[in-house]
Chains A and B, each alone.
Chain A
Amino acid sequence: MKGNSLVTSTASIVGGLLIWEVISRFLINNALFLASPSQIVVAIYKLGLSGVLWRHIEISTYEFVLGYVIASALGVLLGLAMAESRTAKSILQPWVSGLYATPTIALGPLFLLWMGIGIWSKVLVVITLVVFPVALNTEVGLLTTSPRLIEMLRSFGASRKQIFFKLSLPSAAPFVLAGLKLGIGRGLIGVVVAELFGSRAGLGQLISQSADAFNMPNLFAAVIILATAGIVMTAGFSWLEKRLVPWTRD
Chain B
Amino acid sequence: MNTPKLNVSGLVKKFGDLEVISNIGVTIGEGEFISIVGPSGCGKTTFLRIVAGLEESSGGEVRIDDTVVKGPGIDRGFVFQNDNLLPWRTVLDNALIGPEVSGGSDAAAKSRTMDLLKLVGLEGFEKYFPRQLSGGMRQRVNLARALAIDPKILLMDEPFAALDAQTREIMQTELIRIWEQGRKTVLFVTHQIDEAVFLSDRVLVFARRPGRIREIVEIDLPRPRNLSLKRTPEFAKYVDLIWGMIEEDVRHSVLVEKE
Identify the A interface with B (CB < 8 A). 148-149, 151-158, 162, 166-167, 170, 173, 245-247, 250
- A153–B97 CB distance below 8 A: yes
Residue from B76, B78, B86, B101 within 8 A of A170 (CB atoms): B86
Q: Among residues 26 to 79 in chain B, which have CB atoms less than 8 Å away from a CB atom of chain A?
A: 52-54, 71-74, 76, 78
Give the CA-CA distance A247 to B100 in the complex, in Å: 22
Contacts A154-B72, A155-B72, A245-B88; A166 near B80 (Cβ below 8 A): no
* Chain A residues, CB < 8 A from B97: 152-153, 156, 166
- B72–A156 CB distance below 8 A: yes
Nearest residue (CB) in A for B81 is A148
Give the CA-CA distance A121 to B100 in the complex, in Å: 48
* Chain B residues, CB < 8 A from A247: 87-88, 129-131
* Chain B residues, CB < 8 A from A148: 80, 82, 84
User: In the assembled complex, how far is the CB of residue A56 from the closest CB belonging to chain B, in whole angstroms?
Assistant: 41
- A157–B101 CB distance below 8 A: yes
Identify the B interface with A (CB < 8 A). 52-54, 71-74, 76, 78, 80, 82, 84, 86-88, 97-98, 100-102, 129-131, 149
Secondary structure at the B interface, as helix, strand, loop or mixed, is loop
* Contacts A155-B53, A166-B86 known; 7 new A-B pairs at CB < 8 A: A148-B82, A149-B84, A155-B76, A156-B97, A157-B74, A157-B102, A247-B87
User: In the assembled complex, how far is the CB of residue A2 from the closest CB belonging to chain B, in whole angstroms?
Assistant: 22
- Please indicate which of the listed interface residues B73, B76, B86, B102 has the most CB atoms of chain A within 10 Å of its own CB: B86
- B84–A156 CB distance below 8 A: no
User: In the assembled complex, how far is the CB of residue A14 from the closest CB belonging to chain B, in whole angstroms?
Assistant: 38
- B131–A250 CB distance below 8 A: yes
Give the CA-CA distance A156 to B74 in the complex, in Å: 6
- B80–A153 CB distance below 8 A: no
* Chain A residues, CB < 8 A from B71: 157
26 contacts between A and B (CB under 8 A): A148-B80, A148-B82, A149-B84, A149-B86, A151-B54, A151-B84, A152-B80, A152-B84, A152-B97, A153-B97, A153-B101, A154-B54, A155-B52, A155-B78, A156-B102, A157-B73, A157-B74, A162-B101, A166-B100, A170-B88, A245-B88, A246-B129, A247-B87, A247-B88, A247-B130, A247-B131
